[in-house]
Amino acid sequence: MKKALLLISIALLMVSVMFGAESVKIGVAFPMTGGIAAFGQMTLNGVKVAQSLYPTVLGKKIELIVADNRSDKTEAANVVSRLIDYNHVVAIIGEIASSHSLAGGSIAEKKHVPMLSPASTNPLVTQGKHYVFRACFIDPFQGHVAAVFAHNYLKAKTAVVFTDVVQDYSVGLANFFIKDFTAMGGKVYREFYQSGDQDFSAQLTDALGKHPDVIYVPGYYPEIALMARQARQLGYTGPFLAGDGAEAPELVKIGGDAVNGVYYTSHFNADAPFTKIGKEFVAKYKEMYKESPSALAALGFDAYLLLRNAIQRANSTNPEKIAEALRNTKHFEGATGYITIDKYGNTIKSAVVNVVKNGKFTYVTTINP
């Protein structure tokens, strides 16, 4: 039986090799090695789930060509050039980090090949570009969602905002939160730290002196976890609010009980997918990888489907027409919600707010644009 299966699969492979010309080539430019390889792997898992659910478009097989950018900016530009010029892909899914998307995006723009980033949230990525899109919402929106949530749901009047000065992501979110929160009549105090810092007691003592209703930390999980621990030791019992950088199992591992009550804005919650396709995605992902999908996986899944949908609507594999169709994406049902792409290439869709409850990421609410 096993032998027969093997033979059939080899035969299929031969066939697929023979009819290789019939496939639609889509490039995937992700960091598969280096500093942020974990992000690349997570997102690629989501893309692969989408491919196994929907392997064809316009009656042709979709072939994914994965190119590793080695978490390096120079290579991020080189792989996009390679995918377009050497592999002749019709569209590209990538890249993950915003700084990489900026480098790769300028090449895609020059070559008129659509590039769809699953997770680059920096507004500069799509700014002034016609062939660069994204499947995620942008930093201003996430900052806005956090401000709305703090004001309406947490009923906060005073907020202390911690900014990680070396992360463009953190700087962006903090700025947009402050703008919107003060516009709603809130009061904001600012504190600063850097990725890699271990001790936040000085900033926290100063912050707690302001009696905040909420502490907003749009950074990454290691510092958020440590900060939560130290704040609880200093007697802070109020809520924390963070961005999607908080979402990692390590948050609970490092933070323990202290991170209970950390709210964060995110793209997706695997326990409460609110679209039909989202449920389908979670089921298939669990079947393939024996674990719950992360938000990045869901975004990778959506990026693949958005592209496939655009090719279908364009009824062509011409990159120019695919880009045109992508720009006209309206109310598309993805795993992370209903997606509309505006004329700037940015995505308009709802964000979810999750909270850490008893060490689990629990869904709280959805905030619409």
Partner 1 sequence: MGTKRISFKTNFILTTVFVIGVGFLLLAASHSVGDYWVRIITLMAIYSIMAISYTLVNGVTGIFSLGHAGFIAVGAYTAALLTLPIQQKTMSFFIAPLIWPLNSIQMGFFPATIIAGLVAAFAAFLVGYPSLRVTGDYFAIATLAFAEIIRIVIQNSYSITNGSLGLKGIPPYTNIWWAWGWLLVTIIVIGSLKFSSYGRALRAMSEDTVAAGAMGINVFKHQLMSFVVSGFFAGIGGALYAHWLTTIDPRPTSLGIMLTFFVLIMIVIGGLGSISGAVLGAIFFAFAAQWLRIVESPMNFFGITIPGIPGMSMLIFATVFILIMLFWRRGIMGKDELSWQYIYDHFAKKAGDQD
Q: In Å, what is the CA distance from 239 to each residue of 16, 171, 201?
A: 55, 21, 17
179-205 core/surface letters (b: 16 or more CB in 10 A; e: else): ebbeeeebebbebebeeeeeebeebbe
Q: How far apart are CA 148 and CA 184, in angstroms?
A: 8
CA 129 → CA 69, 220, 223, distances in Å?
A: 21, 28, 34
Q: With binding defined as CB under 8 A, does residue 23 bind partner 1?
A: no
Binds partner 1 (CB under 8 A): choice among 117, 121, 167, 347: 167
212 contact partners, CB below 8 Å, separation of at least 6: 156, 158, 159, 160, 189, 238
Q: Check: CB of residue 31 under 8 Å from CB of residue 100.
A: yes
User: Does 267 interact with partner 1 (rule: CB under 8 A)?
Assistant: no
- What torsion do the CA atoms of 246, 252, 257, 262 make, to the nearest 10 degrees? 20
Q: Is 203 in the site for partner 1 (CB under 8 A)?
A: no
Angle ∠(268,28,95) on CA atoms, nearest 5: 60
Q: How far is the CB of 77 from partner 1 (least distance, A)?
A: 6
Size of the residue set binding partner 1 (CB under 8 A): 44
**Least separation in angstroms between CB 203 and partner 1:** 17
Regarding 243 and contact with partner 1 (CB under 8 A), the answer is: no
Does 344 help bind partner 1 (rule: CB under 8 A)? no
- Which parts of 44-103 interact with partner 1 (CB under 8 A)? 65-68, 70-75, 77-78, 81-82, 84-86, 99, 102-103
From candidates 23, 33, 316, 340, binder to partner 1 by CB under 8 A = 33
d(CA 308, CA 313): 9
Q: State which residue, 40 or 334, has the beta carbon closest to partner 1.
A: 40
Contact call for residue 173 and partner 1 (CB under 8 A): no
For the record, the structure tokens of 154 come out as 């947490």
The interface region with partner 1, picked from 8-16, 247-255, 300-308, 333-341 by CB under 8 A, is 8-16
Q: What residues make contact with partner 1 under the rule CB under 8 A? A: 10, 13-14, 17, 32-35, 37, 65-68, 70-75, 77-78, 81-82, 84-86, 99, 102-103, 106, 110-111, 122-124, 127-128, 165-168, 171-172, 175
